[in-house]
Amino acid sequence: MSETSAEPSIDLAADLDTFFEQAVNAAVEQCGCETTEASRYYLVALLADYAKPNPLTGENLSRPLTLALHEAMHKVGLERFEHLRSLGDAVLYTRSFFADHLTNRGVELDYVSSLGARAYDQASAMLRRGSLDVSSDVFGELADNFSACVLIVSHVADQLYARSATSDRAMLKVYERWLRTGSSALADGLVQKGMMPVANDGTVH
């Protein structure tokens, strides 16, 4: 599944881990999600990795996700694990940052989420079978709580989206996105820009 929509950029010279740690912790608190420290750490690392994507990351984002899952399932050993893990990451990122784009293309969001959860679950299964020497298994939690992970990462995405809006046109897009989603992160971003989001009359004050 390819994605070409422009998304807000961040300062790559900054300490990405610290930036995303603060963003993820704030998202967890505001969304009211129950997560372990391990899963929060993983989400922070995922977001930092996607700020500087590697070749496998780009490959997963530029092709049909169902095909990527099929191919990952036919690999063996560490290569299979890495492809499943990377695919789960790609689905989580795509589902969180590009939900509007997926919906506009007629893609069922629940189906996309099921692919990501399955990829993480299969990676977890490899750990449970002891086929890889990995000390801890966060992937089972990511699979079981995929919807909550989407909520957290989507909140971070909305924070970045609102933060990067510097023109009147961009702020209007933030407002329109807030109308569609009701995101508290977008609402906060509008308020920080000196605008009060009001849904009932279609205006921003």
Question: Residue 143: is its pLDDT beyond 90?
Answer: yes
Domain that holds residue 191: 164-205
Token duo for residue 62: 């530029």
The pLDDT-based confidence of 58 (bands split at 50, 70, 90) is low
Determine the pLDDT at residue 132. 53
Domain count, the chain: 2
Query: What amino acid occupies position 182?
Result: G
Question: Residue 147: is its pLDDT beyond 90?
Answer: yes
At what angle are helices 146-163 and 77-97 packed, to 10 degrees?
Answer: 50
Average of per-residue pLDDT across 189-203 = 68
Is the CB of residue 115 less than 8 Å from the CB of residue 84? no
Average of per-residue pLDDT across 103-108 = 88
Global confidence as pTM: 0.80
Average of per-residue pLDDT across 7-24 = 72
Tell me whether residue 41 is in a domain.
yes
**Residue linked to tokens 């922070």:** 44
3-state DSSP assignment of residue 134: coil
Say whether both 169 and 149 belong to one domain: no
Determine the pLDDT at residue 16. 85
Say whether both 131 and 196 belong to one domain: no
Tell me whether residue 180 is in a domain.
yes
Say whether both 59 and 130 belong to one domain: yes
Question: Residue 73: is its pLDDT beyond 60?
Answer: yes
Using CA atoms, how far residue 171 sits from 24, 27, 184, 197, in Å, is: 23, 21, 15, 11
Say whether both 144 and 191 belong to one domain: no
Question: Residue 25: is its pLDDT beyond 90?
Answer: yes
Tell me whether residue 195 is in a domain.
yes
Using CA atoms, how far residue 170 sits from 7, 166, 179, in Å, is: 12, 6, 14
Average of per-residue pLDDT across 23-37 = 90
Say whether both 117 and 173 belong to one domain: no
Indicate the Cα dihedral angle 40, 44, 46, 50, nearest 10°. Answer: 160
Say whether both 140 and 179 belong to one domain: no
Tell me whether residue 10 is in a domain.
no
Say whether both 139 and 178 belong to one domain: no
- Long-range Cβ pairs for the range 95-102 (8 Å, 24+): 95/150, 95/154, 96/150, 96/153, 96/154, 96/156, 96/157, 97/7, 97/153, 97/154, 97/157, 98/3, 98/5, 98/7, 99/154, 100/177, 100/180, 101/3, 101/5, 102/1
Most confident segment among 25-39, 41-55, 154-168, 186-200: 25-39
Is the CB of residue 1 less than 8 Å from the CB of residue 105? no
**What residues have CB less than 8 Å from 156, skipping those under 6 apart?**
20, 23, 24, 27, 47, 96, 185
Q: State how far the Cα of 184 lies from the Cα of 26, in Å rounded to an integer.
A: 12
Eight-class DSSP state of 167: S
